[in-house]
Amino acid sequence: MAERLLQASRQRRMKAMTAAAGSAGRAAVPLLLCALLVPGGAYVVDDSDGLGREFDGIGAISGGGATSRLLVNYPEPYRSQILDYLFKPNFGASLHILKVEIGGDGQTTDGTEPSHMHYALDENYFRGYEWWLMKEAKKRNPNIILMGLPWSFPGWLGKGFNWPYVNLQLTAYYVMTWIVGAKHYHDLDIDYIGIWNERSYDINYIKVLRRMLNYQGLDRVKIIASDNLWEPISASMLLDSELLEVIDVIGAHYPGTHIVKDAKLTKKKLWSSEDFSTVNSDVGAGCLGRILNQNYINGYMTATIAWNLVASYYEQLPYGRCGLMTAQEPWSGHYVVESPIWVSAHTTQFTQPGWYYLKTVGHLEKGGSYVALTDGLGNLTIIIETMSHKHSKCIRPFLPYFNVSHQFATFVLKGSFSEIPELQVWYTKLGKPSTRFLFKQLDSLWLLDSSGTFSLELQEDELFTLTTLTTGGKGSYPLPPKSQPFPRIYKDDFDVDYPFFSEAPNFADQTGVFEYFTNIEDPGEHRFTLRQVLNQRPITWAADAYNTISIIGDYKWSNLTVTCDVYIETPEKGGVFIAGRVNKGGILIRGARGVFFWIFANGTYRVTGDLAGWIIYALGHVDVTAKTWYTLRLIVKGRFSSGMLNGRAVWTNIPVSFPKNGWAAIGTYSFEFAQFDNFHVEATS
């Protein structure tokens, strides 16, 4: 392996291969011959003319939205194993940065995440799972950098407008309390705070936020803006010296490895603060390998943050499997350590924030690129990628054609690196299973007699890391359990006295927020329930539905019976539903079709073919009022559906031809309190 890839000349290669045929183990191949004998490009790695920009890290995003939803309910030891693959140093992706969504109650791509302030006088720093995730990340890597960014905001901040900048002080206060709460309740130091994901910024808001943070003694918390495009924020900064001062980092999304002139003129740190977002196949891995190098080479970006950290949401939601790895089956414990984990490792395990890029980075003659970084203490890491166009397309932006082909590349170490005796070699080849390698350690490379010169034979879709660090490691655990479909029979009575997470396992809120709830006065059956807790539409980031809805189960479910106790809290206007065959979620939730059985506090029921209620299959009167528990049952089988209330048929054999399958769901008519208990679903064939 090593003998094929590392040699100083063709002639040498033949000799080395001959020698290797008879030897075993980690015999290093000394590389001696003059590099000029090797056809192909020559690349100098040198620090004598100073260093390039400071490296700030490689990271990933949990949230934006609800992308870690299913992770939290994984049984041990699998949950810890997944976290190790993501965060543990010298083990897997070994991320330097964790960026999380500041839950704002709204739909933010694959679900909603709860705010720490649902209402004006409300404060709770134990909702959701991002606090837990940050702590798990810190446990594994105390140096991990933490970032927070809002996507949506709770509705009360908008004072009637769908806009977070109505009262700048109030919104800054809201964000500041999240940072203070992280420290106070979880001992988490948030390092960077953002403005409003992929939406407008307000110059005065950014200044108010800075002042509020400083006033609270949070000077150390840096501001990143504006998590959208390079412009107009860069131009705004160049025109406003105070703004230029308060923004520490310009973060752009999906920059396609390029920046604009203004961004560079600000002389600020430039980050790709959201990138990747590609299915985690080998093409996704190729995308990541290419941008991790080229975001710096082409665009001077010193951090790249992937959306998303781990694909832990139902796969049929938008952007299914666009995480560094896949963990979407808490019911089976099955997960997959996908190739982007190992592509990340090529950079993350051999650099740290605070290292510096060398000035000598760039493109390879026949396609691909190389970067080199140093800690300034003599360590050197070189990362070479030869991702082909076909196998490295990211989901966005458009990737102009380029050609990568077989080549030899000779590297010459100069300056303080000229005396390096040995480099560790880590290798990945994406693509065909027969020739595929993921983060494999090869024989180390001895440079003793070669005056710092070595050559590589490079094929398409390869990654090499050559480094002085000997600490790298390819972590592994025994294979997790086999993939299983969601259980065909599933129940939850929500009887949890001190829940560790605010949401019930497997329920994935798509509009509204559903939380465990305790009816303190009720000693009986419905003491512990699941409650929809939003009483107002959030300041939205996406097209949240006008109803609230939480989905659960298997998208493939076609014939099913859903039974659930329901409790409308709002007299006259309130209403709740249970549903089957719900065929859309995430940012598409508003257009979800399915079979929805609604009851209303005004004594009526409805059966609709969509969440919005446009397609009405049936309606009528039924003996229902608010503040009473009822048991609803929805039966969907083949082309027909029936509904029952407290065991009595309300409607029967209504034709339902579309959609053919989808999730089960519960929800409310509007943003209103309502409770659910004894949820039971049985998928039948």
Ligand X SMILES: *[C@@H]1O[C@H](CO)[C@@H](O)[C@H](O)[C@H]1NC(C)=O
By CB under 6 A, the residues from 230 to 259 that bind ligand X are none
- Pick 375 or 493: Cβ nearer ligand X: 375
- Pick 100 or 413: Cβ nearer ligand X: 413
By CB under 6 A, the residues from 262 to 291 that bind ligand X are none
The conformational region for residue 684 under phi > 0 = left, psi -120 to 50 = alpha, else beta, is: beta
Instruction: Point out the residues that are catalytic.
Output: 198, 274
Q: How far is the CB of 559 from ligand X (least distance, A)?
A: 4
Q: Distance between CA 674 and CA 387 in Å, rounded? A: 52
Q: Taking CB under 6 A as the rule, which mask of x and - marks residues 625-654 in contact with ligand X?
A: ------------xx----------------
- Pick 468 or 550: Cβ nearer ligand X: 468
Q: Which residues pair with 514 in a beta bridge?
A: 532
Q: Taking CB under 6 A as the rule, which mask of x and - marks residues 531-560 in contact with ligand X?
A: ---------------------------xx-
**Does residue 43 contact residue 384 with C-beta atoms inside 8 Å?**
no
From 124-132, 257-265, 450-458, 600-608, span contacting ligand X (CB under 6 A)? 600-608
Q: How far is the CB of 638 from ligand X (least distance, A)?
A: 3
- Pick 379 or 631: Cβ nearer ligand X: 379
3-state secondary structure of 87: helix
- Pick 199 or 637: Cβ nearer ligand X: 637
The answer to whether residue 600 forms part of the interface with ligand X (CB under 6 A) is yes
From 175-183, 451-459, 543-551, 598-606, span contacting ligand X (CB under 6 A)? 598-606
Indicate which single residue of 379, 451, 459, 625 sits in contact with ligand X (rule: CB under 6 A): 379
Q: How far is the CB of 663 from ligand X (least distance, A)?
A: 15
- Pick 218 or 622: Cβ nearer ligand X: 622
- Pick 216 or 416: Cβ nearer ligand X: 416
Q: How far is the CB of 456 from ligand X (least distance, A)?
A: 17
The answer to whether residue 177 forms part of the interface with ligand X (CB under 6 A) is no
From 200-208, 371-379, 525-533, 563-571, span contacting ligand X (CB under 6 A)? 371-379
Name the packing angle between helices 203-215 and 168-186 (round to 10°).
40
From 164-172, 265-273, 276-284, 373-381, span contacting ligand X (CB under 6 A)? 373-381
Sheet order of strands, 508-511 included: 508-511, 548-552, 663-668, 575-582, 593-600, 604-610, 616-621
Q: How far is the CB of 668 from ligand X (least distance, A)?
A: 11
Residue 164: closest CA among 222, 218, 98, 117: 117
Q: How far is the CB of 366 from ligand X (least distance, A)?
A: 6
Residue with tokens 């034979």: 457
Q: Distance between CA 644 and CA 443 in Å, rounded? A: 69
From 189-197, 377-385, 423-431, 532-540, span contacting ligand X (CB under 6 A)? 377-385
Which stretches of 295-388 are assigned E, i.e. beta strand?
Answer: 303-307, 310-311, 325-329, 334-336, 356-358, 362-363, 369-374, 380-385
Q: Distance between CA 389 and CA 74 in Å, rounded? A: 37
Q: How far is the CB of 380 from ligand X (least distance, A)?
A: 9
Q: How far is the CB of 379 from ligand X (least distance, A)?
A: 4
Q: Give every CB contact of residue 388 below 8 A, 6+ residues apart in sequence.
A: 286, 367, 404, 460, 461
**Does residue 234 contact residue 250 with C-beta atoms inside 8 Å?**
yes
Rounded (5°) CA angle 671-100-206:
85
Q: How far is the CB of 533 from ligand X (least distance, A)?
A: 20
- Pick 202 or 457: Cβ nearer ligand X: 457
By CB under 6 A, the residues from 385 to 404 that bind ligand X are 403
Maximum separation of any 2 CA atoms in the chain, in Å: 91
3-state secondary structure 532-571: ECCCCCCECCCCCCCCEEEEECCCCCCEEEEEEEEEECCC
Q: Distance between CA 197 and CA 292 in Å, rounded? A: 22
Q: Distance between CA 248 and CA 206 in Å, rounded? A: 11
Indicate which single residue of 90, 281, 602, 625 sits in contact with ligand X (rule: CB under 6 A): 602
- Is the CA virtual torsion 606, 610, 615, 617 positive or negative? negative
**Does residue 479 contact residue 495 with C-beta atoms inside 8 Å?**
no
The answer to whether residue 328 forms part of the interface with ligand X (CB under 6 A) is no
Q: Distance between CA 660 and CA 381 in Å, rounded? A: 53
Q: How far is the CB of 374 from ligand X (least distance, A)?
A: 9
Indicate which single residue of 575, 580, 585, 659 sits in contact with ligand X (rule: CB under 6 A): 575
Q: Distance between CA 10 and CA 155 in Å, rounded? A: 68
Residue 58: closest CA among 246, 289, 266, 222: 289
By CB under 6 A, the residues from 330 to 359 that bind ligand X are none
Indicate which single residue of 669, 671, 676, 679 sits in contact with ligand X (rule: CB under 6 A): 669
Q: How far is the CB of 2 from ligand X (least distance, A)?
A: 22
- Pick 480 or 575: Cβ nearer ligand X: 575
Tell me the backbone φ, ψ of residue 355, rounded to 5 degrees: -70, 170
The answer to whether residue 363 forms part of the interface with ligand X (CB under 6 A) is no
- Pick 216 or 558: Cβ nearer ligand X: 558
The answer to whether residue 378 forms part of the interface with ligand X (CB under 6 A) is yes
Q: How far is the CB of 537 from ligand X (least distance, A)?
A: 16
Q: DSSP string of 207-252?
A: HHHHHHHHHTT-TTSEEEEEEE-STTHHHHHHH-HHHHHH--EEEE
3-state secondary structure of 62: strand
Q: Both tokens of residue 493?
A: 């009575």
Q: Taking CB under 6 A as the rule, which mask of x and - marks residues 404-443 in contact with ligand X?
A: -x--------------------------------------
Indicate which single residue of 26, 139, 220, 573 sits in contact with ligand X (rule: CB under 6 A): 573
The answer to whether residue 604 forms part of the interface with ligand X (CB under 6 A) is yes
- Pick 224 or 358: Cβ nearer ligand X: 358
By CB under 6 A, the residues from 462 to 491 that bind ligand X are 468
Number of residues that bind ligand X (CB under 6 A): 18
Helix, strand, coil percentages (3-state) for the chain, rounded to 5, are: 20, 35, 45
- Pick 378 or 481: Cβ nearer ligand X: 378
The answer to whether residue 657 forms part of the interface with ligand X (CB under 6 A) is no
Q: Give every CB contact of residue 484 below 8 A, 6+ residues apart in sequence.
A: 329, 331, 332, 334
Residues that bind ligand X (CB under 6 A): 366, 377-379, 403, 405, 468, 558-559, 573, 575, 600, 602, 604, 637-638, 669, 685
